[in-house]
Chain A
């Protein structure tokens, strides 16, 4: 008897008991679809994060003091350091700015709006992808004159003034040590937060002011603890950063003390990717357990089916079915049940992950590989869990089987 005949017999058996077949498949359907959904959500969020990093700037880096090493004031990065680095790495660096931030709030009647006030230099819009809706970004003259100028987020303008056309308007920010008033010179286009407003969390809205102004407010004197950097495309960020550190170390006579640390978006991205992959794997593995449970369901039903069809097995054996004929018949039946369950599960998985992708705003990312693996897996489940019942059927003694009622 060939495979095609076994498939025919199996299909007849499956379709003659539709309800039971469907219930048996259910375990596989749920297992496969949840694996597909989880893997595709994992991929989707990974792609999302990648996109986010791209808009934030993949070539971005941070160079700053390592607080673990208890840096002294003379280890801080000075204005001269910045100028020397700018010159030495003019080819590599697209933009470099010290950044000093403080959180505060803008009060509009009784409403408090949380803001993040950051002092940056005129190069900062080359670091962060800032596009202006109105007005301009900070200029070098703003730094020199310590002008109380502010570039604010579009959302903030809407909240405070109810419009975006707010150039030359004044905005007052409550800080820990008093109030500061700035003249708005620019409004930035709002950047959607990476995951929307998940959980109702709204990040504080950004206000950028000249670093010189911020220093004065906080009583700093041209010494910074960190630099935001954006490298040109194709620059090896980590290599360049270590060369920059060695220059700073030489200038501060602090070679080998590990006073400075760096972050690059690239390595952060790699880390995030790694974490996401592990997370996807772990949750996927948990979902795969449901597949095993589904497989046990297949075995259970196949065992019932074998017992129920003892007489049929006896007839087939009496008439000349060999060990392998009976084995094949039941194994193929288990495989087909699992495979059909797998296909339905894949379709369900694709559908549900597409729906979730639309709701959350992910790019849909059902990978061909996860479908292939799911298919392979469901067939293996059929073989693995179908083997024992099929063996039981094929080993039946024809005389006893025929006598079974």
Chain B
């Protein structure tokens, strides 16, 4: 039995954007706990605050007020460089538009997070190959992104997100740019990773994709309006 940890603990989280004179409350007092090895979907219309939440969860942005603990570390008041280190070690990103370096091979793209983590070249390559094998791309190591299909590109991105053994994987509409077949393949990979114990948070607006997660959270107007477990949820302690 897995040890259940509160991987993410968010308390009274507020994010206010200033657009000139006008203040926009993108997140209003959000409280959210996500346990280790959970697979959570975040849904909501555009402008609901889900992207803002993802940015804060991904340590790309800081909240205006409130607390955010990631893997027992308080990250809400960290400096940009400290956040960069947290992103590097604890978070794996998967984006809708893949966001791979177009000039670099799949292998180099997957090596990138380890480059900034200071991993030695030999180990870097070894681990990158391993991660690419895990997503079924061991025969595409030296292909550049434009020589790969959308599904393959997203798998490279997943390999990249995994390679530093992060605490959570944040996937922002990972299937948005893919045909349904590739989308299902990608979701299968996420499910498998989750079964192996990776915490996954997935933003989507497609209900059937969302329903593949164990828990679905709905956002509207900067507030969490719904939080339920799908039938897939394991019985947790």
Contact = CB atoms under 8 A, between A and B. Distances in A.
Are A and B interaction partners? yes
A283 interface: no
B191 interface: no
Given A311-B99, A325-B116, A320 B87 contact: yes
B118 A1 contact: yes
Interface in A324-380: 324-325
Interface string A161-177: 00000000000000000
A320 B88 contact: yes
Interface in A299-332: 311-312, 314-325
Interface string B85-116: 10111000101000111011000000011011
B234 interface: no
B84 A1 contact: no
A13 B101 CA distance: 12
A183 interface: no
Interface residues of A, number: 23
A321 B118 CA distance: 11
Given A398-B60, A399-B55, A320 B117 contact: yes
Contacts of B88: 319-320
A319 B80 contact: no
Given A1-B116, A1-B118, A399-B60, A322 B84 contact: yes
Contacts of B113: 319-320
Contacts of B101: 312, 315
Main secondary structure, interface of A, reads helix
A268 interface: no
B58 interface: yes
B112 A316 contact: yes
Contact of A402 (B95, B116, B160): B95
A402 B116 CA distance: 18
A17 B196 CA distance: 43
Nearest to A4: B121
B71 interface: no
B99 A315 contact: yes
B185 interface: no
Nearest to A405: B97
Contact of A320 (B85, B100, B104): B85
Given A5-B115, A315-B112, 12 more contacts: A2-B118, A312-B101, A317-B84, A318-B87, A318-B99, A319-B87, A319-B88, A319-B113, A319-B116, A320-B87, A320-B164, A322-B85
